[in-house]
Amino acid sequence: MNIWWLMVLCGVITFLIRYSFIAVEGHYQPPSWFRRLLPFVPVAALTALTVPELLLVQGQILLGGDNPRLWAGLVAIVVAALWRNTLLTIGCGFLSLFVLQRIW
């Protein structure tokens, strides 16, 4: 029964955190330095999620040529920079990872 109380508590905490942003709408103005940094949050979050997946192989940082995820990630970065198409980037990244894993 304790797991149910824990799930309810986590749900309430999540609701309160999300509701707090709605409740203070119009009553609080963040500092200008904070507002200037907000556009960088998505890039930082995406980087924090993807870099460990590209660099870590079995818990070790692997920067060499025998890391297919790193090379597939670099292919995806180049495709994204050149064509700015999300589906093309994902497709090329998956395809290059598939091919590189078969080669190595």
Pick the residue with more confidence: 2 or 39? 39
What's the pLDDT tens digit per position in 8-54?
Answer: 999 999 999 999 989 998 888 999 999 999 999 999 999 999 999 99
Q: Positive or negative, the Cα torsion across 41, 45, 77, 88?
A: negative
Q: What is the pLDDT of residue 64?
A: 87
What confidence tens digit (pLDDT) does each residue in 48-80 have? 999 999 999 888 999 988 899 999 999 999 999
**Residue-wise pLDDT tens digits, 75-102:** 999 999 999 999 999 999 999 999 999 9
pLDDT, position 1? 66
Measure the CA–CA gap between 10 and 15, rounded to whole angstroms: 9
What are the boundaries of each domain within the chain? 2-103
Long-range contacts of 67-75 (CB under 8 A, 24+ apart): 68/97, 68/100, 68/101, 68/103, 68/104, 69/97, 71/96, 71/100, 72/96, 72/97, 72/100
